[in-house]
Chains A and B, each alone.
Chain A
Amino acid sequence: MLRDMTIGQYYPGKSLLHQLDPRVKLTGALVFVVSAFLFENWISFAIVTAFLGTCIILSRVPFRYMVKGLKPVVVILILTAVLNLLWTPGEILWQYRFLKITKQGVMNSGYMLVRLIYLVLGTSLMTLTTTPTRLTDGMETGLSWMKLFKVPVHEIAMTMSIALRFIPLLLEETDKIMKAQMARGADFETGNIFRRAKSMVPLLVPLFVSAWRRAGDLAMAMEARCYHGGEGRTKMKPLKYRKQDFCSYGVLSVYLVGLIVIKVIL
């Protein structure tokens, strides 16, 4: 059940997208997120969709697998759509007491829904095609200029990579503890909200204990190997740009500039 989460999960493969430099993919994801909020008409909407579609096809990650990543955010999606639908002022299409649906509301809610879906798909495309190690590597190298402003880039990147590493571990642990308690007759699925909240105690207490234990063990292991931050630390696989990476930067700039031009002109 918990294994169904795809956000932040890596989908092994050897596609063009898998092989790109993580810095390109990070920039790409950022550009895509910005672009998803830029579109306001059908032309730019079509361009953004085509861009996302091409990337998904290039990544060779099955579309079904990507859509699974939307499941956890379904509630947020529905809520956003409904709120936008009912609370946008404008030309009234339908009214019932204080509830009203306007033409602008329909448009807004549609756009918002699509934007959020694209946001999730776009960012999960990045995590699906990049291993957590490479992702944080890319972040560390890509943001190293921030060190000039005393931002602890290495430490942030390290924290992030540890956090990412712990997600699957904790999920696995949750699964295990859940099964162990179910074997003792625990019931996580039925009852009202209070009962269910209470039934989470046998799951959460051991999970916290184990998270603390793991964190302690990890800190100890890092100490034992003389970890002392990023100063003077070298990499086994330093990131290097290749031809395909420069090309991708080119494509990204054309894409972003194109969308901005369309927005300004129309």
Chain B
Amino acid sequence: MSLILNHVSYVYEPNTPLESRALTDVSLQIEQGEFVGIIGHTGSGKSTLIQHLNGLLKPTAGEIFFHGRDIYDGDFPLKELRSKVGLVFQYPEYQLFETTVFEDVCFGPKNLGLSENEAGLRAFEALEHVKIPKEMFYQSPFELSGGQKRRVAIAGVLAMKPEVLVLDEPTAGLDPKGRDQLLAELKRLNESMNMTIILVSHSMEDVANYVRRLVVMDEGRIAYDGTPKEVFFHYRELEKMGLMAPQVTYLMHELKERGLMVDENATTVEEAKEAILRAMTWRNRM
């Protein structure tokens, strides 16, 4: 039950002067139920990478396996794959088109060949998941606020009941409250429905609190792959890639340098608080 990328490379517009390498020899294995963050600076290949996961792009070299089958095998049902691996693009609100919110969310399930009733049920569930109040169901999606549009668009993908949900910068342009709500919702989907979630972001701060595994991309290659703690340990190298470790990491390293015996690997504010308190008590006891 997993998604495997085997030595995948991708080149945009090959054999023209506009040729550009986006991915170089990327190998990755993602198990069912994981919550993975893919992080990288602009142009590091994150967005290209995730478009491979549901077969929208075909790698220039390498293979991709879903449940042990090569997705570029001639007879692999791509449409089914796209329902199993739901992909939410950057600024997904720009893809809304129907007359009502509800109809728009039904678009995906209907494309899967579900009946009107079944599609409606799924749309209902999905909209509940993203906390869109019922009175908005029959409004035009163009009348909603930016954050609401975003959540409707995500519901549009959720309604297909994917096993894997991939989101490209889902928090871009949201206010802090909207961002936290969305990320908490994703965490809940991951925990309660065992949905695999792959979150693409360029902000460490955003993902550090939620994901259990981080993949760092740099210039089309995987630079680091591990738990947030393992990855943030390399915070100096991350800086060279144009990425910032969470502020907490900097604080903890600074404290340690100044002589407070803290565990510098804390990645969230909560953990940092615990670590500092522990260190303080220990010092006071001396």
- Contact surface of A with B, Cβ cutoff 8 Å: 3, 11-13, 65, 176-177, 179-187, 201-202, 205-206, 209-210
- The residue on B at minimum CB distance from A61 is B17
CB distance from A124 to the nearest CB of B (A): 15
CB distance from B161 to the nearest CB of A (A): 12
* Contact residue among B79, B87, B97 (Cβ-Cβ distance under 8 Å from A187): B79
Q: Which range holds the interface residue count of chain B? A: 20 to 34
B16 at the interface (CB under 8 A from A): yes
Which residues of the partner chain B approach A65 to less than 8 Å between Cβ atoms? 16
Which residues of the partner chain A approach B2 to less than 8 Å between Cβ atoms? none
The interface bits of chain B over 74-96 (1 if a CB of A lies within 8 angstroms of the residue's CB, else 0) are 00000100110011110010111
User: Are B111 and A187 interface neighbours, CB within 8 A?
Assistant: yes
CB distance from B51 to the nearest CB of A (A): 7
User: Are A209 and B89 interface neighbours, CB within 8 A?
Assistant: no
User: Are A202 and B56 interface neighbours, CB within 8 A?
Assistant: no
- The residue on A at minimum CB distance from B78 is A182
* Contact residue among B13, B16, B18, B111 (Cβ-Cβ distance under 8 Å from A185): B111
CB distance from A262 to the nearest CB of B (A): 38
With contacts A180-B95, A184-B95, A185-B82 known, what are 15 further pairs, Cβ within 8 A? A3-B13, A13-B17, A65-B16, A179-B56, A181-B95, A183-B87, A183-B157, A184-B156, A184-B157, A185-B108, A185-B112, A187-B79, A202-B95, A206-B94, A210-B94
Give CA–CA (A126, B217) in the complex, Å: 40
B199 at the interface (CB under 8 A from A): no
A selection of 25 A-B contacts at a CB cut-off of 8 Å is A3-B13, A176-B89, A177-B94, A180-B94, A181-B107, A183-B54, A183-B86, A183-B88, A184-B95, A184-B107, A184-B156, A184-B157, A185-B83, A185-B107, A185-B108, A185-B160, A186-B107, A186-B111, A201-B97, A202-B95, A202-B97, A202-B107, A205-B97, A206-B94, A206-B96
Which residues of the partner chain B approach A185 to less than 8 Å between Cβ atoms? 79, 82-83, 107-108, 111-112, 160
Which residues of the partner chain A approach B56 to less than 8 Å between Cβ atoms? 179, 182-183
Which residues of the partner chain A approach B54 to less than 8 Å between Cβ atoms? 183
Which residues of the partner chain B approach A176 to less than 8 Å between Cβ atoms? 89, 94
Which residues of B (107-147) have their CB < 8 Å from a CB of A? 107-108, 111-112, 142
Give CA–CA (A201, B18) in the complex, Å: 31
User: Are B89 and A184 interface neighbours, CB within 8 A?
Assistant: no
Give CA–CA (A210, B94) in the complex, Å: 7
User: Are A209 and B94 interface neighbours, CB within 8 A?
Assistant: yes
User: Are B17 and A11 interface neighbours, CB within 8 A?
Assistant: yes
Which residues of the partner chain B approach A187 to less than 8 Å between Cβ atoms? 79, 111
CB distance from A73 to the nearest CB of B (A): 20
User: Are B89 and A183 interface neighbours, CB within 8 A?
Assistant: yes
| Interface pairs A-B: 8 shortest CB-CB | A185-B111, A205-B97, A183-B87, A184-B108, A180-B95, A180-B89, A202-B97, A179-B56
CB distance from B108 to the nearest CB of A (A): 4
CB distance from A56 to the nearest CB of B (A): 16
Which residues of the partner chain A approach B87 to less than 8 Å between Cβ atoms? 180, 183
Which residues of B (52-80) have their CB < 8 Å from a CB of A? 54, 56, 79
Which residues of B (1-50) have their CB < 8 Å from a CB of A? 13, 16-18
Which residues of the partner chain B approach A183 to less than 8 Å between Cβ atoms? 54, 56, 82, 86-89, 157
- The residue on B at minimum CB distance from A199 is B111
Give CA–CA (A65, B14) in the complex, Å: 12
CB distance from A189 to the nearest CB of B (A): 11
- The residue on B at minimum CB distance from A173 is B94
Give CA–CA (A236, B108) in the complex, Å: 50
CB distance from A78 to the nearest CB of B (A): 27
